[in-house]
Amino acid sequence: MTCRICEKDYSGIIYEDDDIIISLAEKPVALGHLKIFPKKHYTIMEQVPDDEIKTLFNTANKISTLLFESLQAHGTNIIVRNGIPAGQELSHFSIDIIPRRQSDNINFEWKPKRASPEQLEAVKKKLSETTSDISIGKSTETREIVSKKEDNKQETIKEQNGEKNYLIEALKRTP
Amino acid sequence: MPENITQEDLENMSPEEIIELQKKNCIFCKIIKNEIPSKKVYEDDYVSVILDINPASEGHLLILPKEHFMIMPNMPEELIGHMFIVARELSQAVLKTLDAEGTTIFAANGQIAGQKAPHFMIHVIPRKENDELFEFKEIKIPGEKLDKLQKMMKQIMPRLVTGRDIMAEEKPENEIPEYEAKEEPEQPKTEPKQEQPKEKSEQKPKEKIKHTPKETPDLDKISRLFLNK
């Protein structure tokens, strides 16, 4: 499968180095809507290693600051659309940086739902099973998958411990 | 906003005083210190992660830096990196344990961008197909405007990303030959004129370095907006 970002088949590229590519968004929601991509191909955020996360989001922050200064934005949004249900457009991970202005017609306000303490407690319990395992800085299952993917052995990753391999599921769903 | 502080007081306050006032009254600082109960799902030395009590979807998480920062441009690089690494881990946790098919990682700087509280945070929002939580409405931008923007951004980006003015560093080589070519027809006429173009070409690169001073956004103004709410 070819990737438009890896092939540089994307209009509006404004910067490129060994780590990142910055471009005007092809489908902008505002004037000055920019996108930043890692140079290496990752499909979803879960695959991006620590160092690259640091570089990408700190650059996104610099760009956001720039938009305040140079495009008279009064606010900015930094958004990751992770997976097709979240609106991801390309098979290459990216971050959207969007300058915001008064009455710009952008509506990112979600309808807040009511959640009872019991419902919240149930979600907390479910999530805590996984979040208690978070050990930042150590290698995770994700990185194993990434390294295997680089060897083109993606198909050989089996569902482990009878558990649904959600990452592979997610990869199948991405564009 | 505390009742004993008037609009006028606010306008006379220094940015430092405003930030102090904000910290004192910040709900999220109180949540982090456990003075207000919350559903915490993760905590380390730098961040607390809680469930949003009015979620966009089930499992909507808020990543809060323990130190009070109003917007992301105020935050140190290390903390920004750490917060988004935590966001990645949580996104993974959400996909693994909840019935989600994707996630939206959302950060807003400023009220206009949808920021609700003056404590910067990152939202991790579990997504499902056709949940219609976010709409990215494409707008049409005239080609001329786009070209101008692209040109401007191409010029600024290298300096912004690397912290060095690559354009200015590279410019002298490109510009000098151009100047010489332009002035060449005049050269045979008189000798004094020959010196003028030289000066010009030496001065040009210096101007380039000067013309992009970096200023921080008007944080003071943004913070006042919050307190006026």
Query: Looking at beta carbons, which residues of chain B come within 8 Å of A27?
Result: 136, 138
> Is B224 within a domain?
no
- Collect all residues with Cβ–Cβ distance below 8 Å to A75 and sequence separation of at least 6: A99, A100, A101, B108, B109, B110, B111, B112, B113, B114, B115
Q: Chain-wide mean pLDDT for chain A?
A: 81
pTM tops 0.80:
no
Residues B120 and B150 in one domain: no
Write the Ramachandran bin of B7: left for phi over 0, alpha for psi from -120 to 50, otherwise beta.
Answer: alpha
Q: Check if A45 contacts B (Cβ < 8 Å).
A: yes
3-class SS of residue B110? coil
Q: Are B56 and B133 in contact (CB under 8 A)?
A: yes
Q: Which helix (H) or strand (E) holds A96?
A: strand A95-100
**Spatial distance between the Cα atoms of A36 and B160, rounded to a whole number of angstroms:** 13
* Domain regions of chain A by residue span: 13-100, 117-173
Residues B32 and B99 in one domain: yes
The confidence band for B209, taking pLDDT boundaries of 50, 70 and 90, is: very low
Q: Are B40 and B49 in contact (CB under 8 A)?
A: yes
> Is B131 within a domain?
yes
- Shortest distance, CA A134 to any CA of chain B (angstroms): 7
Domain A13-100 has CATH 3.30.428.10: yes
Residues B133 and B168 in one domain: no
Residues B54 and B163 in one domain: no
- Say if the Cβ atoms of B51 and A123 lie within 8 Å: yes
> Is B188 within a domain?
yes
B142 vs A130, residue with greater confidence: B142
B-interface mutation test, from A11, A56, A68, most B Cβ less than 10 A away: A68
Whether pLDDT at B160 is above 70: yes
**Spatial distance between the Cα atoms of B224 and B229, rounded to a whole number of angstroms:** 9
Other beta carbons less than 10 A from residue B107's beta carbon? 29
Residues B92 and B53 in one domain: yes
- Say if the Cβ atoms of B104 and A86 lie within 8 Å: yes
pLDDT tens profile A82-137: 999 999 999 999 999 999 998 898 999 998 999 999 999 999 999 988 888 887 63
- Say if the Cβ atoms of A81 and B59 lie within 8 Å: no
> How many residues are there in chain A?
175
Q: Are B22 and B15 in contact (CB under 8 A)?
A: no
pLDDT tens profile B162-184: 876 555 555 444 444 444 444 44
Give pLDDT, residue A149.
39
Comparing A11-15, B4-8, B64-68, the range with the smallest average pLDDT is: B4-8
> Is B152 within a domain?
yes
Give pLDDT, residue A83.
93
Residues B77 and B118 in one domain: yes
Residues B105 and B153 in one domain: no
Residues B133 and B188 in one domain: no
B81: domain CATH number?
3.30.428.10
> Is B127 within a domain?
yes
The confidence band for A24, taking pLDDT boundaries of 50, 70 and 90, is: very high
* b/e code B33-47 from CB counts within 10 Å (16+ = b): eeeeebbbbbeeebb
pLDDT tens profile B37-79: 999 999 999 999 999 999 999 999 999 999 999 999 999 999 9
Q: Is the ipTM of this complex over 0.85?
A: no
Enumerate residues 97 to 156 of chain A having a beta carbon within 8 A of any beta carbon in chain B: 98, 100-102, 104-115, 119-121, 123-124, 126-131, 134, 136, 140, 142
- Say if the Cβ atoms of A62 and B58 lie within 8 Å: no
Residue owning tokens 């769903």: A173
Q: Amino acid letter at A46?
A: E
Residues B200 and B94 in one domain: no
Q: What is the mean pLDDT of residues B1-13?
A: 74
Q: Are B216 and B186 in contact (CB under 8 A)?
A: no
State how many domains chain B has. Answer: 2
Q: Which domain holds residue B85?
A: 7-137
Comparing A50-54, A165-169, B71-75, the range with the smallest average pLDDT is: A165-169
Q: Are A107 and B127 in contact (CB under 8 A)?
A: no
Nearest to B72 by CA among B19, B122, B6, B139: B122
Give pLDDT, residue B32.
96
Q: Which helix (H) or strand (E) holds B35?
A: none
